[in-house]
């Protein structure tokens, strides 16, 4: 019988991060500790420049902390080399950014298959089936073969959500995923992201400026000046 998975998809303790150099050096994260539970949607809110996105990139191993510890699925990652961090991103983390960041030369289907191809866990036919299933789940079943460049902004962001879910990651990190969408599409993307993640038992950590959206999350963590505030 396999061991029960860690209820915490990711966790960090006492994270410090400085950005810039010389006189412009800024202490962006000041000893931040945080945990994200599987099946739970957590919103990180706060004014611009308070360190929300920096924290998200630290948790997603896109950036290295100057001090502090990060665990993903119980695995210590803060001291890991680039290869281990990249492999952990591939297996355990899905990203959704404010801008969709799709590869416009590829179709919607191919974009969703990109992380799967890298991980190589599924056979090509199974990858295609899963990508189609995910695109259908986000309401793009009829546009799987359409070039990403020929999709609307809302559709592109839905493809980005499907892509983030492709490798069944433990955690989905979303940096203002609806920041660039109109109200209708914002609602749609938020619903898709949270419902699919909850259904699959994935942790969602979402940075947002939108108080309505934050209010619909399971937990809200306000930040200011590089720290969580009570």
Partner 1 sequence: MAAASPNLRIALRFLTSRKRAMAMSLTCITLGVGLFVITRATTSGFEGLFIRTMLGTNGAIRIEEKTQDVVGVMQADTGGPQSSNFKISNLEDRKFIHGIEEPELLMAAVRHFQNVTGVAAVLTGSRRVRNSFNEENGQVFGVELDDFLQVSDLGSQIVAGSLQSFRETPMGLLVGQVMANRLKLSPGDTVLIDADDGAVRFRVSAIYETGVNEIDRQRVYLHLAEARSLLRRPTGASLLQINLRDKDRAPADAFFISRTLGYSAISWQQRERSWLEVFRALKLSTLLTVMLFSLIAGIAMFNTLAMIAMEKTREIAILRSMGYTRRDIAAIFLWQASLVLAVGSGLGCLLGVGGTWAIATLPVRIRGIFATDTFIVAWSGWHYVEAVVMAAIMVMLASLLPARRAARLEPGDVIRGSAQ
Of 45, 54, 159, 203, which lies in the binding site for partner 1, with binding defined by CB under 8 A?
54
* 200 DSSP assignment: H
Q: Does 25 bind partner 1 (CB under 8 A)?
A: no
Closest distance to partner 1 from the beta carbon of 4 (Å): 25
- Alpha helices by DSSP H, 68-152: 82-92, 108-119, 124-137
**Angle at alpha carbon of residue 219, lines to 51 and 212, rounded to 5°:** 80
Q: Does 177 bind partner 1 (CB under 8 A)?
A: no
Residues 177 and 161: their CA atoms lie apart, in Å, by 9
Task: Give the distance from CA 83 to its chain's centroid.
Answer: 20
Number of residues that bind partner 1 (CB under 8 A): 33
Only one of the segments 57-65, 70-78, 183-191, 200-208 lies at the binding site for partner 1 (rule: CB under 8 A); that segment is 57-65
Rounded to whole angstroms, the Cα distance separating 143 from 229 reads: 43
CA gap 217, 204 in Å, rounded: 9
Sign (positive/negative) of CA torsion 38, 63, 85, 124? Answer: positive
Chain CA centroid to CA 137, Å: 18
Q: Closer CB to partner 1, residue 94 or residue 154?
A: 94
**15, 41, 44, 53: which one binds partner 1 (CB under 8 A):** 53
Closest approach, Cβ 230 to partner 1, in A, equals 27
136 binding partner 1? (CB under 8 A): no
Question: Of 114, 122, 137, 220, which lies in the binding site for partner 1, with binding defined by CB under 8 A?
Answer: 114
Question: Which of 46, 65, 115, 226 touches partner 1 by CB under 8 A?
Answer: 115
Beta strand pairing status for 93-96 and 171-175?
Answer: parallel
Chain residues that interact with partner 1, rule: CB under 8 A = 19, 53-54, 57, 60, 62-63, 82-83, 86-87, 89-91, 93, 95, 97, 99, 101, 103-106, 110, 114-115, 117-119, 124, 163, 167, 175
């Amino acid at each position: 019988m396999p061991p029960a998975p860690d209820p915490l998809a990711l966790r960090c303790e006492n994270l410090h991060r400085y950005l810039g150099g010389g006189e412009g050096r800024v202490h962006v994260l000041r000893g931040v500790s945080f945990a994200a539970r599987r099946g739970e949607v957590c919103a990180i809110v706060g004014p611009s420049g308070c360190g929300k996105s920096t924290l998200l990139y630290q948790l997603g191993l896109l950036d290295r902390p100057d001090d502090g510890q990060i665990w993903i699925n119980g695995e210590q990652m803060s001291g890991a080399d680039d290869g281990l961090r990249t492999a952990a991103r591939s297996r355990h983390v899905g990203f959704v950014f404010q801008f969709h960041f799709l590869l416009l030369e590829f179709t919607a289907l191919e974009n969703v298959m990109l992380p799967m191809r890298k991980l190589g866990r599924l056979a090509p036919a199974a990858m295609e089936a899963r990508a189609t299933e995910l695109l259908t789940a986000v309401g793009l079943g009829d546009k799987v073969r359409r070039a990403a460049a020929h999709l609307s902004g809302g559709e592109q962001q839905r493809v980005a959500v499907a892509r983030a879910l492709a490798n069944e990651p433990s955690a989905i990190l979303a940096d203002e995923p609806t920041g660039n969408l109109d109200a209708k599409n914002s609602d749609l993307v938020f619903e898709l992201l949270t419902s699919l993640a909850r259904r699959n038992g994935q942790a969602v950590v979402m940075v947002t400026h939108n108080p309505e959206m934050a209010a619909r999350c399971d937990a809200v963590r306000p930040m200011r000046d590089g720290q969580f505030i009570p």
